[in-house]
């Protein structure tokens, strides 16, 4: 077996692979768990994924738990229903576990059968005990039966027959055959010559300490010689019999007998498919893991700690010393322009070959003039007034008792950006100026460009600070680990698509600063100067269509549609190659295709036009379509088998544009109304939306544009990367 990409070292995605999946369903304390929300939800997610695997031709075997828990739940209910009031006053004897297993097994299989049948998949039940495996005849018959079932595309479901098991707690057996469903899965993987064993857990994999401990980190590849003595197991899992200790024991036994194993979370619905696709998730166990060269790579946690230490050293330096670092950075960029452009051309060529959109390629391209502009912005930052340690407020509370509010760095920033390698330079310069450590993750399309820029920038860091103050993450698989480091990383700044921003917000406890879509509007009032309007609209749409501050929607007062003003503007835009779409009114009037949505960021030479009644209608349109008002959440409430009812609920989802808006008018009163009532980060009067930029605002550079209302809003420069402390 050869190691695959990203250091995951799994088998390729081939037909005929047998997967043994240990369900996350068993729960020993069902009196405190609603099975409709816990167990049934877990089974439903698992069944859907196994259906996908079955459809794609994989041979899948499921090892499940849950019979004891379901049986206990049902028997407790029956006992409660049949109890008198006096019975309830007396302590109830604990239910016999074997009786619970006997009752629950039929419930368990009824549940699986119902859910698989709804997906047009056939399942089968096989109950085993450890003693069976001492019989060679049984083992052969087991193999023959499973082979027949798999040939018929039936999913075999294995479970230990607890109802007649001769073993007692703590469920260990001197025979060593198997002692829980994890070890049963490992045993079956060996008996049936599986290609891969996946053990599903309630956490993302094996950690070097309790997962609840913020200092614990996920072990991506288990090396027995390295990890066996250094792992501290936490409390037993609330799911299943043996917890992580049992899973690791089973994984080690199977892996060293030749079966690759992955332990990963069963709550992430797509993890099984991601494992098959070669993604680096969970913890991999393999007999040759100690030979793989990538096991010594720096972990996400180590990179974050190094950036934090570098930040503290940077803060010790004087303002003049930090200024020298920035000037040296600018000189190094200027000196290496040819090398940078050469690497960037290779990225651009690959992106064109891969068929990326023109807007992405435009953002990706680093021409010498753009590098020159970056050099200029870095030198501008160097010449700025020292931002760290500024006295923001000073109060004498009493004689000789002075209170000062002082500006100070945030600490460690994690910036995740797509396409634009120039963002790396701006962000790095801002981090140095503000005294912050920095972790950067760029898109794979800019891999070479980001690598050379990072190398050039870190080469000028003084030894007192170290080049690890700015870390470059090269694998997207590191991002989940980084997003858990709320004890080390102080702020996450995503620069990219709506999808990127929303995924990050859902995946971390670290504060997130950023914007999603850039749905920027220009409103032409009836009192607009048409010549000025043409220039502003042309600049806002055609100067750099891929930018987040480019105009996406043009709103026009109805009075302009009745004279030649709008016609002239349409001709101007079409001459520039802009593809026009219309709202309901504009599409009918101008005979142009109707837009499917007002909330669409074209990032290209295209825009939407709509006719509005007046400035108040324009304001309402912007405030409504400049943000998502609601997302829809489907809530299913189920009993052990059937869905009782479904309901749709609406909640504000919090992902908005509210980026930059402009009014073109000569009526100052109307302009003032627009500026005050439009609820966006930047609102302009007679100025292109393209002016919403850190360099244009005199910030030197920007780490991004924030549309949130907490901490920083609009283009974020040095001030947005500072907090304060009290002396």
What confidence tens digit (pLDDT) does each residue in 357-370 have?
887 888 899 999 99
| CATH 3.40.605.10 residue window(s) in the chain | 300-507
Share above pLDDT 90 across residues of the chain, in percent, rounded to a whole number: 38
- The predicted pLDDT at position 228 comes to 72
What region does 197 belong to: left with phi over 0, alpha with psi -120 to 50, or beta? Answer: beta
Confidence of residue 516 (pLDDT cuts 50, 70, 90): low
**CATH code of domain 300-507:** 3.40.605.10
Give the DSSP letter of residue 207. Answer: B
**Out of 161-175, 189-203, 284-298, 390-404, which region has the weakest mean confidence (pLDDT)?**
161-175
- The predicted pLDDT at position 87 comes to 58
Confidence of residue 327 (pLDDT cuts 50, 70, 90): very high
- The predicted pLDDT at position 133 comes to 81
Furthest-apart CA pair in the chain: how many Å?
A: 94
- The predicted pLDDT at position 68 comes to 83
Confidence of residue 636 (pLDDT cuts 50, 70, 90): very low
Q: Are 287 and 255 in contact (CB under 8 A)?
A: yes
Q: Are 480 and 204 in contact (CB under 8 A)?
A: yes
Confidence of residue 14 (pLDDT cuts 50, 70, 90): very low
The CATH label, of 3.90.190.20, 3.40.980.10, 3.40.1800.10, 3.40.1160.10, for the domain at 1-291 is: 3.40.1160.10
**Out of 117-121, 280-284, 422-426, 687-691, which region has the weakest mean confidence (pLDDT)?**
280-284
Q: Are 702 and 696 in contact (CB under 8 A)?
A: no
- 638: pLDDT strictly greater than 70: no
- 635: pLDDT strictly greater than 80: no
Average pLDDT over residues 290-297: 57
* H helices present in 508-614, as ranges: 530-542, 564-575, 584-590
- The predicted pLDDT at position 247 comes to 86
In angstroms, the CA 109 to CA 102 distance is: 12
Between residues 41 and 22, the one the model is more confident about: 41
Average pLDDT over residues 613-641: 60
Average pLDDT over residues 648-673: 73
Average pLDDT over residues 282-311: 79
Query: Is residue 29 packed enough to be buried (19+ CB in 10 Å), middle (13-18) or exposed (0-12)?
Result: exposed
| N residues, the chain | 727
- The predicted pLDDT at position 674 comes to 95
**Out of 409-418, 514-523, 656-665, which region has the weakest mean confidence (pLDDT)?**
514-523
- 49: pLDDT strictly greater than 90: no
Please state the pTM of the whole predicted model.
Answer: 0.60
- The predicted pLDDT at position 6 comes to 31
In angstroms, the CA 88 to CA 662 distance is: 70
**Out of 39-43, 315-319, 559-563, which region has the weakest mean confidence (pLDDT)?**
39-43
Average pLDDT over residues 296-317: 84
Residue range 163-186, pLDDT digits in tens: 777 665 444 444 556 677 888 888
- For residue 238, which of 262, 218, 266 has the smallest C-alpha distance? 266
Between residues 632 and 453, the one the model is more confident about: 453
In angstroms, the CA 686 to CA 667 distance is: 11
DSSP string, 101-141: HHHHHHHHHHHHHHHHHHTT--EEEEEE-GGGGG-HHHHHH
Confidence of residue 214 (pLDDT cuts 50, 70, 90): low
**Out of 97-101, 267-271, 622-626, which region has the weakest mean confidence (pLDDT)?**
267-271
- The predicted pLDDT at position 234 comes to 55
- 355: pLDDT strictly greater than 70: yes
- For residue 439, which of 465, 413, 421, 420 has the smallest C-alpha distance? 413
**Out of 168-182, 186-200, 224-238, 438-452, which region has the weakest mean confidence (pLDDT)?**
168-182
Confidence of residue 281 (pLDDT cuts 50, 70, 90): confident
In angstroms, the CA 279 to CA 495 distance is: 23
- The predicted pLDDT at position 21 comes to 38
In angstroms, the CA 236 to CA 242 distance is: 7
| CATH 3.40.309.10 residue window(s) in the chain | 520-630+653-702
Residue range 523-568, pLDDT digits in tens: 999 999 999 999 999 999 998 887 888 999 999 999 998 777 788 8
- For residue 25, which of 60, 75, 70, 77 has the smallest C-alpha distance? 70
Q: Under DSSP, is residue 335 helix (H, G, I), strand (E, B) or coil?
A: helix
| CATH 3.40.1160.10 residue window(s) in the chain | 1-291
Average pLDDT over residues 330-337: 95
CATH superfamily name and code, 520-630+653-702: Aldehyde Dehydrogenase; Chain A, domain 2 (3.40.309.10)
Mean pLDDT of the chain: 81
Residue range 22-37, pLDDT digits in tens: 333 333 333 333 444 5
Between residues 226 and 598, the one the model is more confident about: 598
Share above pLDDT 70 across residues of the chain, in percent, rounded to a whole number: 83
- The predicted pLDDT at position 22 comes to 37
**Out of 16-20, 413-417, 428-432, which region has the weakest mean confidence (pLDDT)?**
16-20
């Amino acid at each position: 077996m050869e190691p695959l990409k990203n250091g995951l070292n799994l088998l390729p995605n081939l037909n005929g692979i047998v997967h043994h999946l240990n369900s996350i369903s068993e729960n020993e304390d069902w009196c405190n768990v609603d099975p409709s929300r816990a167990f049934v939800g877990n089974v439903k997610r698992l069944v859907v994924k196994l259906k996908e695997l079955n459809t794609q031709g994989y041979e899948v075997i499921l090892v499940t738990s849950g019979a004891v828990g379901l049986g206990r739940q049902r028997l407790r209910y029956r006992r409660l229903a049949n109890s008198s009031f006096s019975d309830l006053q007396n302590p109830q004897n604990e239910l016999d576990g074997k009786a619970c297993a006997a009752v629950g097994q039929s419930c368990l299989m009824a549940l699986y059968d119902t859910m698989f049948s709804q997906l047009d998949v056939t399942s089968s039940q096989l109950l085993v005990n450890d003693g069976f495996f001492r019989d060679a005849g049984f083992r052969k018959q087991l193999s023959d039966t499973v082979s027949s079932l798999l040939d018929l595309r039936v999913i075999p479901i294995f479970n230990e027959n607890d109802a007649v098991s001769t073993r007692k707690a703590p469920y260990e057996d001197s025979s060593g055959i198997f002692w829980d469903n994890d070890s049963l899965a490992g045993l079956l993987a060996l008996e049936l010559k599986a290609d891969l064993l996946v053990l599903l857990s309630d956490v993302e994999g094996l950690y070097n300490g309790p997962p609840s401990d913020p200092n614990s980190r996920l072990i991506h590849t288990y090396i027995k010689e390295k990890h066996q003595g250094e792992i501290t197991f936490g409390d037993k899992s609330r799911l299943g019999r043996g917890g992580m200790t049992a899973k690791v024991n089973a994984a080690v036994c199977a892996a060293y007998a030749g079966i690759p194993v992955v332990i990963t979370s069963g709550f992430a619905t797509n993890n099984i498919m991601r494992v098959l696709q070669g993604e680096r998730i969970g913890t991999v166990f393999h007999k040759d893991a100690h030979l793989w060269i990538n096991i010594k790579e720096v972990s996400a946690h180590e990179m974050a700690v190094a950036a934090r230490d570098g930040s503290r050293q940077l803060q010790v330096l004087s303002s003049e010393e930090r200024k020298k670092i920035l000037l040296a950075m600018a000189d190094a960029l200027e000196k290496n322009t040819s090398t940078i452009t050469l690497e960037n051309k290779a990225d651009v060529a690959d992106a064109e070959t891969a068929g990326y959109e023109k807007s992405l390629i435009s953002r990706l391209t680093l021409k010498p003039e753009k590098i020159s502009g970056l050099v200029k912005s870095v030198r501008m930052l160097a010449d700025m007034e020292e931002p760290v340690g500024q006295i923001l407020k000073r109060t004498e509370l009493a004689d000789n008792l002075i209170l000062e509010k002082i500006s100070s760095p945030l600490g460690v920033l994690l910036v995740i950006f797509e396409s634009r390698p120039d963002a790396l330079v701006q962000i790095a310069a801002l981090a140095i100026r503000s005294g912050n450590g920095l972790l950067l993750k760029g898109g794979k399309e800019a891999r070479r460009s980001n690598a050379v820029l990072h190398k050039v920038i870190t080469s000028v860091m003084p030894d007192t600070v170290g080049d690890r103050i700015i870390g470059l993450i090269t694998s997207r698989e590191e991002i989940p680990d980084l997003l858990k480091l709320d004890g080390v990383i102080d702020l996450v700044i995503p620069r990219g698509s709506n999808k990127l921003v929303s995924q990050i917000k859902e995946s971390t406890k670290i504060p997130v600063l950023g914007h999603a879509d850039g749905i920027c509007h220009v409103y032409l009032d009836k009192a607009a100067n048409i010549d000025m309007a043409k220039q502003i609209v042309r600049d806002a749409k055609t100067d750099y269509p891929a930018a987040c501050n480019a105009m996406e929607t043009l709103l026009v007062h109805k009075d302009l549609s009745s004279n030649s003003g709008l016609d002239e503007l349409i001709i101007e835009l079409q001459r520039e190659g802009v593809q026009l779409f219309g709202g309901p009114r504009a599409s009918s009037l101008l005979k142009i295709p109707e837009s499917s949505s007002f909330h669409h960021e074209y990032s290209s030479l295209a825009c939407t036009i709509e006719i509005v009644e007046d400035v108040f209608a324009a304001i309402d349109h912007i405030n409504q379509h400049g943000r998502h008002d609601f997302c829809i959440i489907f809530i299913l409430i189920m009993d052990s088998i059937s869905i009782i009812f479904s309901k749709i609920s609406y909640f504000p989802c919090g992902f908005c544009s509210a980026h930059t808006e402009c009014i073109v008018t000569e009526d100052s009163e109307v302009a003032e109304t627009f500026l005050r009532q439009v609820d966006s980060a930047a609102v302009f009067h007679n100025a292109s939306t393209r002016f919403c930029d850190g360099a244009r605002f005199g910030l030197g550079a920007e780490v991004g544009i924030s549309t949130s209302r907490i901490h920083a809003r609009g283009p974020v420069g040095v001030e947005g990367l500072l907090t304060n402390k009290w002396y």
